[in-house]
A and B are shown apart, each in its own frame.
Chain A
Amino acid sequence: MRRFDAIVIGGGLVGTAIGYGLARAGLAVALVDEGDIAYRASRGNFGLVWVQSKGLGAPHYQRWTRRSAQEWPALAAELGASSGIALGLEQQGGLQLCLGYDEMSRRRTMMQQMHREAGNFGFEYRMIHRAELAGMLPGLGPAVTGASWTPYDGHVNSLALFHALHRAFAGSGGTYLPNCTITEAHAAPGDFRIDAGPQTLAAPKIVLAAGLGNAGLAPLFGLNAPVRPQRGQILVTERTTYRWPVPLGSIRQTPEGTILLGSSEEDVGFDTGQRPDIMQRIAQRAVLSFPWLAELQIVRAWAALRVMPPDGLPIYDESEAYPGAFTANCHSGVTLAGAHANVFAPMVAAGALDPMMAPFSARRFDVPAAA
């Protein structure tokens, strides 16, 4: 049996960010990963560090996302230095385009509510009308009425992030165990044992960060993680010489010139297939936004599964029955990497979640539905 200070289950962006934060704090960490057969949202995401549409009606989530965005520059610099991998982080703000007047008016109402709910925390944003926007984004389509802007948004090479986190985790003394599927779990307060393939691991702390796998794992540790898959599809164009000045909610360009087009939401279970009608809708909206995109060739396209809690908000929890067991579930592993490595991991290292995390507990789903 191999003993560690903490076991993290899940080697995707969420698990690796938390594992890195724990290893950096001096804990001996085992990062248990299912391997390449996993539904790997970390390899299918869009790469936004995105704040402006997160947490409507849930100010705690808005603050959490903002906090993560604040942590991002330091995390990117630290990972860059320790891994030698440039993450390509840009955080100069982002735009959410509106097509037609209804979208613009709904967006304005939403941003007003975000601002109201931010309270003393503040929420800087602007609604930018078409005339001004056309000066910022050449070749704007006639259907675009405007956009919302916040200074908090940005984007990053999410595959580089994934690679850098793994390197930094290993560089901090972490033990990465790939191709391990959990076959047996034993929980006692502050004493956890799991069988993963041929080996048995033991630690006083365990963090469940297995994405969609958390739904089945959580009950073994007195936790609840009712996450379900939500499929998203992405189209990728050839590289262009044009340099997009700022990322948009569903269009972003990599520093190498590739343009990514999103986004979609489908409830289709564990199906990572693609559908032409969805791809067509993504392309149509992109071309309505920027007609010149129509001439570009699509060179890649894929689908991936978001890890979606019932209300769309992240779940962070600690087990009452088995103190020392934690869970992290979200569909924003890129945006929240800063918070996971720099805020959540230190709480786990200290042994308990901060009271500010209480609204994220899965206990919010225990309220019986009204008749």
Chain B
Amino acid sequence: MFRPRPDSSAPTIIVEVEGSNIRVPVGASAAAAVLAAGLGSIRDTPVGQVGRAPYCMMGICFDCLAEIDGVPNRQSCMVTARPGMRIRRQHGARLVDPTASTTDDPP
């Protein structure tokens, strides 16, 4: 659905989006890479488990949340793509296990 402008001559880098190598211009956002990958969605909502894809591209709508280099729930439109960046689907809310953190002895 999305293609780079034909007149674009910017240098490019390669990122990984859900297992595929995607070429994007230097300076593009991770969300642009998601769109370039042609995915119908990059996250499932926590409450209704409905698919969402990048929409506003300016940090407002939170529909572009993705796991980027292992960090969940990042707004991919606010993250500049870097060579080799791994962009993965965000499934619902962030997985949290409070018992996994180390709790020291009381003071």
Chain A interface (Cβ < 8 Å from any Cβ of B): 100-101, 130, 134, 137-145, 238-242, 256-257, 290-292, 296-297, 299
Contact B101 A291 (CB under 8 A): yes
Nearest Cβ distance between residue A68 and chain B, in whole angstroms? 29
Nearest Cβ distance between residue B55 and chain A, in whole angstroms? 16
Contact A238 B73 (CB under 8 A): yes
Contacts of A144 in B (CB 8 A): 106
Contact B92 A241 (CB under 8 A): yes
A-B contact count (CB 8 A): 60
Q: A256-B47, A257-B46 are in contact. Are A142 and B107 (CB under 8 A)?
A: yes
Chain B interface (Cβ < 8 Å from any Cβ of A): 46-47, 62, 72-74, 92-101, 103-107
Besides A130-B106, A238-B93, 10 other CB < 8 A contacts?
Answer: A142-B106, A144-B106, A145-B106, A239-B93, A240-B94, A241-B92, A241-B94, A257-B46, A291-B101, A297-B73
Contact B98 A256 (CB under 8 A): no
Give the interface centre of A134, A256, A291, A292 by most chain B CB atoms within 10 Å. Answer: A292
Q: Can you sample 15 A-B contacts with CB below 8 Å?
A: A137-B98, A139-B100, A139-B103, A141-B103, A145-B107, A239-B46, A239-B92, A239-B94, A240-B93, A241-B92, A241-B93, A242-B97, A256-B46, A292-B100, A296-B94
Contacts of A100 in B (CB 8 A): 107
| Complex Cα–Cα for A137 and B105 (A) | 15
| Complex Cα–Cα for A162 and B72 (A) | 32
| Complex Cα–Cα for A144 and B98 (A) | 15
Contact A138 B98 (CB under 8 A): yes
Contact A290 B62 (CB under 8 A): no
Contacts of A241 in B (CB 8 A): 92-96
Contacts of A290 in B (CB 8 A): 98
Nearest Cβ distance between residue B82 and chain A, in whole angstroms? 19
Nearest Cβ distance between residue A99 and chain B, in whole angstroms? 10
| Complex Cα–Cα for A241 and B104 (A) | 24
| Complex Cα–Cα for A152 and B28 (A) | 52
Contact B98 A292 (CB under 8 A): yes
**CB < 8 Å neighbour of A139 from B62, B98, B107:** B98
Nearest Cβ distance between residue A139 and chain B, in whole angstroms? 3
Q: A238-B73, A257-B46 are in contact. Are A142 and B103 (CB under 8 A)?
A: yes
| Complex Cα–Cα for A130 and B107 (A) | 10
